[in-house]
Structure 1
Amino acid sequence: MADEGDVLTNLSNGAPNGADNQPVAGLISQYVKDLSVENPKAPESFQWQEQPELDVQFNIAAKQVNEEVHEIELKISVNAKCASGTAYIVEVSYCGLVGMRNMPDEQKHAFTYAEAPRLLFPFARRVISDAVRDAGFQPLMLDPIDFNGIYLQQLQSRRQQEEGGAPAGQA
């Protein structure tokens, strides 16, 4: 791109006739697909004095909607237990429709399982916080999750399994 007296020129980025061939990815929409809140010991649980032990699980799933759109699903489950019993259980399936075009497969994979969940997580976290509050407890603010770090660990683990997974006796 060249500057000529505050006028931008050569905006085609090398694409003839405005061809759309640059890699692009972005969030199209996001939504709660499923939400479950259980408060099984209410109203007794509101009298418990002990801090509940939290078990937080999360999973990422992806489904192709069409050639350029994928649904990314962030599933988060929170189970709060005390010696007296289960205080609450919150499960959310928070989804986003992600558009990806002109991207190599490895970049699509990284965006699907690292970047898209990173974008969705703050909103899923708010849904969980509100659900816990609406169940009658103090809002739960989950710690941030390093989805990129987890993604890289998963890739490294998979590579190590593939390298060390050769049957015995073969070189």
Structure 2
Amino acid sequence: MTDQANTAAANETDTAPQFSLQRIYVRDLSFEAPKSPAIFRQAWEPSVALDLNTRQKGLEGDFHEVVLTLSVTVKNGDEVAFIAEVQQAGIFLIANLDDASMSHTLGAFCPNILFPYAREALDSLVTRGSFPALMLAPVNFDALYAQELQRMQDSGETPAPSLQ
């Protein structure tokens, strides 16, 4: 009886959903201030443009790499003050999810985990360039994910397996 209970428990564990963060790391980091040092002598009236992207790649077994890219271009008037970009990545163990749950996990849940790290890396990079701190507002990746699914549905595109 005990062997049967142990076998049943082991089988249930084998099919239960699994999620585990394995590693968070900076994949790429860049900073450019093309008008330095002259830009520091001007009145500071910045405009900020943020470009945000995610991509995911299956690794061996149930491991997945998710990369969140944040690119920021800050202009002072008509001149580019600086361009900063970070690719914040993570390796996640994700198993036993249906396609829709896997897609949502890779497309929204994992980027939500990575965003605070990317935000801090960008802020640190910008302040090291001697510019004022860049505190990006939180991003709702669930809403962005839902918008992308709706856009694909409206245009008749078939979602990729990672966006179903």
TM-score band w.r.t. shorter chain: 0.7 to 0.9
* CA spacing shift, 1:85–1:120, aligned 2, 3 Å: same
Q: 1 or 2, which has the higher helix percentage?
A: 2
Instruction: Please give the alpha-carbon distance, in whole angstroms, between the structure 1 residues aligned to 2:67 and 2:111.
Output: 8
Q: How does 1:59-70 map to 2 (within 5 A)?
A: 59-70=53-64
Correspondence list, 1:6-155, <5 A: 16-19=8-11, 20-83=14-77, 85-155=79-149
* Aligned-pair CA distance for 1:74: 0.4
Identity of aligned residues (%): 32
* Counterpart Cα distance in 1 of 2:18 and 2:7: 15
| CA RMSD, 1 decimal | 1.7
Relative to structure 1, the CA distance from residue 158 to residue 15 in structure 2 (aligned partners, 3 Å threshold; closer, same or farther) is farther
Amino acid at match of 2:31: V
Aligned length: 151
Aligned equivalents of 1:92, 1:40: Cα separation in 2: 18
Q: Which has the larger radius of gyration?
A: 1
Which ranges of structure 1 fall in alignment gaps of 5 or more residues?
1-11, 164-171
If the length of structure 2 is used for normalisation, what is the TM-score?
Answer: 0.86
Letter in 1 for 2:10: G
Moved over 6 A (4+): none
Unaligned runs of 5+ in 2: 158-164
Return the alpha-carbon distance in structure 2 between the equivalents of residues 66 and 132 of structure 1. 36
Deviations along 1:22-61, one digit per CA (max 9) or x if unpaired, are 0011221110000001111111111121311111101001
